[in-house]
Structure 1
Amino acid sequence: MHPADFYIPAGEPFPVITGIVSQIAVTSGVMEIEVDNVRYRCSPQQNNIVDIKPINRISCISFSDDFAGWILAFSRQFMLNAMKGNKPIKIRELLALMSYTAVTLSSEKMSVLQQYYGNVAESSEDLSDRLDMTIFCFAAVFLHLNIVKFVQLSISSDPERTASSRPAYILDRFVKLLEEDVQKEHEVAFYADKLGITPHYLTMVTNRYVGMSAGKVIAEALMSKACQYLRNPEYTIQEVAEMLNFSDQSSFGKFFRKHSGTTPASYRKAAR
């Protein structure tokens, strides 16, 4: 992505931005950002890391005159290509991350991340050949995963997150059921029945905690399995479709393209 992609002429409305991975570190001044209809005030002292996922919607962003910071932004497809299809974050951890957009990290962790941001900036100065591009991709992924790690640590120490509640219990049970059954069961009604609740209530819970419908959560879990199998050259695409309980290879291909923007064959080729 180019900085010009984020340029908005004076007087024009802010366009809704979605479908990107963006991680912002605030080092001075103030940034105000609205994500999924929630407004965050970010400064070096509070909410100094903002973690935007592809499903999030940025509807407003503004900066104070003395703002300074680092912004890393790239498409979901860039991350898939750079990771070569590997998904080191488990679905349960990913769902927890979804409900945290802004967190406050210690000055020590921020100093570490600023060094990593600097490495990304330095490696992006010359992308004239394949080796330079590979170095840049590794630097960007290294920064991204370290931010994820620090955010996870912040979540685990959040008393509100660890406090027990019925909705949180339902979400945890739902994720466990997904790990067991998602290869065979793709419908919200199946999981709602297992949990003894209505599909509508299950979607209310997932929307509250992870900002997406229950159907979308199922699709994300299914995509994780699909990517895992596609990286294994021993399976044909038809066999992957059968293992994931799709009626045929065409149905699987349509599902995969809808949720990734690419075909299973193209994904497999890029992941090699």
Structure 2
Amino acid sequence: MGNVTSLDWHAKPEEIEQADFINDDFYMYKNTLINPLNHPFKANKTICCICLKGEIRGRIDLMPYCVKAPAISITLPGQILEYESNTSDFEAVFVLMSEQFNDSLHLPDRFSTFLSVRNNPVISLGPGQLEAIQTYCTMIQRVIRVKDNPNRMEIVKHLTIAFFYGLGYYFHKSSEVEKITKSEMLVRDFLKQVQLFHKKERRIDFYADKLQLSSKYLSQVIKNYSGKSAADWIDEYVVLEAKALLKSTNMTIQQISDELNFPSQSFFGKFFKRISGVSPKTYRDR
């Protein structure tokens, strides 16, 4: 995998030089250059970043992350990514899989594996682990490049099933040994609930009930741990979603307002400007 290309988050597979892909379901390529978006975007594919050199930083669903070589990160469909920075020596292999492709794998423990990934999206790799993942990438590349093979997709699926079985073990193991405080776990659980219900629920007592806590206790722990109130986190996630929709879709501002369950476009506009400092239209146009 010696080919190098620039990472363009909006590019289609066929538009990325030297990308190996099958339809819009699976593609893989290596890069050392980042052409990042300067705004949040919602992943519509599973994105595996296998960091070979250097490091990259950003946020996944508002939580900060750092992928430092050798390591792998996995972002799931529906999660919102924000790029912050990468070192000049950053080098990685990116593997992207559509939801349709993931569903076709029929992994029996898919839920538990993806739950481990959501809880801990980045794991460091030992030499043996990195070598195994690189072998998977090399085998996938060879299969995809034999374009007249009618069984390409089936072979890629079977190789990826093996990949996820091995990866699931590493993520489960990493989750077991990771030492997280009770407060950090509560913040993670709170943000998971916000991701699920932010379009309809912005009341702190709703999330406290979900977590079987009092509103006062939840607010206190969130504030003490993060320096921000629970209400601020909820508002920030709603605006994050709005920004992703404004920049990544052709939905009208009214449609986005409706999608996020605001009573009117005017109310949405005032809310968005209060949090981000600019109107939805200004943010979309700049």
- TM-score normalized by the length of structure 2: 0.50
Over 3 Å counting, the alpha-carbon distance change for 1:145 and 1:17 in structure 2 is farther
5+ residue gaps, structure 2: 1-11, 17-28, 190-205, 227-233, 235-286
Distance across 2 between alignment mates of 1:125 and 1:89: 28
Over 3 Å counting, the alpha-carbon distance change for 1:51 and 1:192 in structure 2 is same
Over 3 Å counting, the alpha-carbon distance change for 1:130 and 1:192 in structure 2 is farther
Quick check: 1:112 aligned with 2:137? no
Over 3 Å counting, the alpha-carbon distance change for 1:156 and 1:65 in structure 2 is same
Equivalent residue in structure 1 for 2:68, among 18, 32, 43: 43
Quick check: 1:19 aligned with 2:77? no
Structure 1 residues 222-269: Cα deviation after superposition (integer angstroms, max 9, x where no partner): xxxxxxxxxxxxxxxxxxxxxxxxxxxxxxxxxxxxxxxxxxxxxxxx
Identity of aligned residues (%): 11
Match of 1:72 in 2: 95
Could you tell me whether the CA contact under 8 Å between 1:22 and 1:74 is conserved in 2? yes
Which amino acid in structure 2 is aligned with residue 158 of structure 1?
A: E
Aligned length in residues = 188
Over 3 Å counting, the alpha-carbon distance change for 1:120 and 1:96 in structure 2 is same
Which amino acid in structure 2 is aligned with residue 117 of structure 1?
A: C
Pairwise CA distance, 1:194: 11
Pairwise CA distance, 1:61: 5.9
Distance across 1 between alignment mates of 2:90 and 2:160: 23
Could you tell me whether the CA contact under 8 Å between 1:123 and 1:139 is conserved in 2? no
CA RMSD of aligned residues (A): 4.7
Match of 1:101 in 2: 121
Distance across 2 between alignment mates of 1:68 and 1:94: 25
Structure 1 residues 140-194: Cα deviation after superposition (integer angstroms, max 9, x where no partner): 332233223211111111122xx667966xx7xxxxxxxxxxxxxxxxx8x9589
Which amino acid in structure 1 is aligned with residue 78 of structure 2?
A: I
Over 3 Å counting, the alpha-carbon distance change for 1:194 and 1:21 in structure 2 is closer
Distance across 1 between alignment mates of 2:116 and 2:64: 20
More strand by share: 2
- TM-score normalized by the length of structure 1: 0.52
Equivalent residue in structure 2 for 1:131, among 151, 154, 157: 151
Pairwise CA distance, 1:30: 2.5
Distance across 2 between alignment mates of 1:80 and 1:13: 31
Structure 1 residues 2-48: Cα deviation after superposition (integer angstroms, max 9, x where no partner): 17479999797456141221111111122233322334332225xx2
List aligned pairs for 1:225-264, cutoff 5 A: none
List aligned pairs for 1:151-230, cutoff 5 A: 151-160=171-180, 192=209, 195=212
